[in-house]
Chains A and B, each alone.
Chain A
Amino acid sequence: AEDTGVRVELAEEDDGRKASIALKLWVEDSRKLKGKYKDSGAIEFTFDIEREVPEGVAQEMVESGFFHESDAKIVGKSIRDRVALIKWRRERTVSSA
C-alpha cells in the first residue's frame, strides 16, 4: 500500500470470521498531512468490514478533532487500504482451505 504517513494495523488477531474488526491508527509521518495535526496518540476503533465505509470513520475522526478536514481523504484511504488487505487475506485463507 501507498505510504500515506498514516498507519493502520489490526489491534487484535483476525479470526477470519467476525465482520467487526479492531483497528489501530496512528500518524507515522505528520509531514504527509495537509492540516495541522495534534499528536493525540494511537486511535483504536472497531470497524465492520461488511457494512461500514472507511471514509465515514475518517469523517468521524475529523469531527472528533483528531484530524483536520483536509486530511479526511488520506485517513480514509489508509483505512481502506488496510481493510482491503484484511479482506484479501481472508479470501486467500478461505480458498486455500
Chain B
Amino acid sequence: NTATQVVTSAGRRFIVSPVPESRLKEQ
C-alpha cells in the first residue's frame, strides 16, 4: 500500500492512494 497524506493549511487531511485499474474507464 502506497497511500500518502496531504494536510492543507485549513487542516483538512487528504489521503491519496492508487485507483484500482478496474475502477478506471478505458481511455
Size category of the A interface is 10 to 19
Is chain B's interface secondary structure helix, strand, loop, or mixed overall?
loop
CB distance from B7 to the nearest CB of A (A): 9
Asked if A40 is an interface residue, CB under 8 A from chain B, the answer is yes
Chain A residues lying within 8 Å of B18, measured Cβ to Cβ, are 41-42
Complex CA gap A75/B8 in Å reads: 17
Known pairs A28-B24, A43-B14; A64 contacts B19 (CB<8 A): no
B residues in contact with A26, CB < 8 Å:
19, 23
Neighbouring B residues of A43 by C-beta, 8 Å: 14-16
Q: Which residues does A use to contact B, with CB under 8 Å?
A: 7, 26, 28-31, 40-46, 57, 60-61, 63-64, 66
